[in-house]
Amino acid sequence: MLKALFLVFLVCYYPAVSSAQKVKRKGTTVKREQTNEPVSKFSVNQLQGKWQEVKRFKAKDNSSIDFTDSLLMIFADTKVTLKDVTSMRMTMTGEAETEAPNTLIVAGDTYSILSLDTAKLVIKDDEFTRELEKRNQLHYESYGKIKIETDTLSNPVNIDIHILKGNWFIYAKKAEPGSVSDKTALIKSLNINSINDEGIAFGEVAFYVSGITRTAACQLVTQRGVLKIISDKESWTFTIYKADGKEFIFGEKGKLVYFSKMQ
């Protein structure tokens, strides 16, 4: 009987001793799972101000398309107002927020931010990729507010074409009655990015005909106060009235004159 009890004691004691002898090696630590929450690459603070869509591409194949309903976004703190150039009315106002890693939510609409800097925003949804530019003033805001001094439209001025290098946005137009029709190609912006040794400038012109916005590569030539803009879609010949590096005024006095500023 004593032998049987002794054997039972040994059986119960041995696992406890073995377990006690399994000591962690010095210097080892317990591994804990770490959950790193993703951080958004962008913030609403980077978007403060006014943005206007200038280019649009099909999301499926990235092919450029013409459009009339240029998207406008106006950010103020955490609020955003969406508007389109065609209707010239406020379409929606709501909250603006960003989510990780690159999602932008504006008044319930969701986009992916492809790139963002101080001058350009590129966003994408299931249908389109849109390129927007930062604006100090949106085009519709200048209606009825632009005071045009008649003395700026005097004689043609000769200029050094290099002063035109940059991105020019048309902030106002002065058109005399009957000088513009639905078929007139009206310029929206000029982006001049290079000038060769012969004094020919190269860039891109954005314009619209019958409300449809188009863009085209172009060449610009100036001579004796005359500006020629040549593209494979449209061409224009204008008189230059002012070009000082900050403001560029050109057109045809008595018909249609463009007032533009460097962006």
Question: Under a CB-based contact definition with an 8 Å cutoff, are residues 205 and 216 in contact?
Answer: yes
Domain end among 108, 140, 172: 140
Strand partners of residue 120: 133
Residue 126 domain boundaries: 44-140
**Does residue 188 sit within a domain?**
yes
Token pair for residue 67? 């459009």
The answer to whether position 7 is within a domain reads: no
Cα–Cα nearest to 185, from 237, 236, 260: 236
| Token pair belonging to 216 | 């085209």
164 within some domain: yes
**CA 100, 103, 105 angle in degrees (round to 5)?**
125
Instruction: Report the amino acid identity of residue 101.
Output: P
Q: What is the 3-state secondary structure (H, E, C) of 5-45?
A: HHHHHHHHHHHHHHHHHCCCCCCCCCCCCCCCCCCCCCCHH
CATH code where residue 158 lies: 2.40.128.20
The C-alpha atoms of residue 240 and residue 145 are separated, in whole angstroms, by: 23
Position 48, amino acid: Q
Task: Return the pLDDT at 114.
Answer: 97
Q: Do 54 and 126 reside in the same domain of the chain?
A: yes
Q: Residue 174 has what pLDDT?
A: 82
pLDDT of residue 22: 45
| E-state strands within the chain | 49-58, 71-76, 79-84, 89-99, 103-106, 109-116, 120-124, 128-135, 166-175, 186-195, 201-209, 212-223, 226-231, 235-243, 247-252, 256-262
Residue type at position 120: K
Q: Are residues 83 and 134 in the same domain?
A: yes
Identify the pLDDT of residue 44: 96
C-beta of residue 121 within 8 angstroms of C-beta of residue 135: no
User: For the chain, where are the alpha helices, taking DSSP H only?
Assistant: 2-21
Any idea what the Cα angle at residue 145 is, between residues 87 and 225, rounded to 5°?
100
Q: How many domains does the chain have?
A: 2
The domain boundary, picked from 140, 172, 200, lies at 140
**CATH (domain of 109):** 2.40.128.280
Whether 167 and 121 map to the same domain: the answer is no
Domain boundary among 81, 105, 140: 140
pLDDT means per 10 residues, the chain with 263 residues, are 52 49 44 65 95 90 80 92 65 87 90 95 94 82 50 78 90 80 86 93 89 87 94 94 91 88 81
> Same domain, yes or no, for 102 and 193?
no
| pTM as predicted | 0.51
Tell me, what's the pLDDT at 253? 84
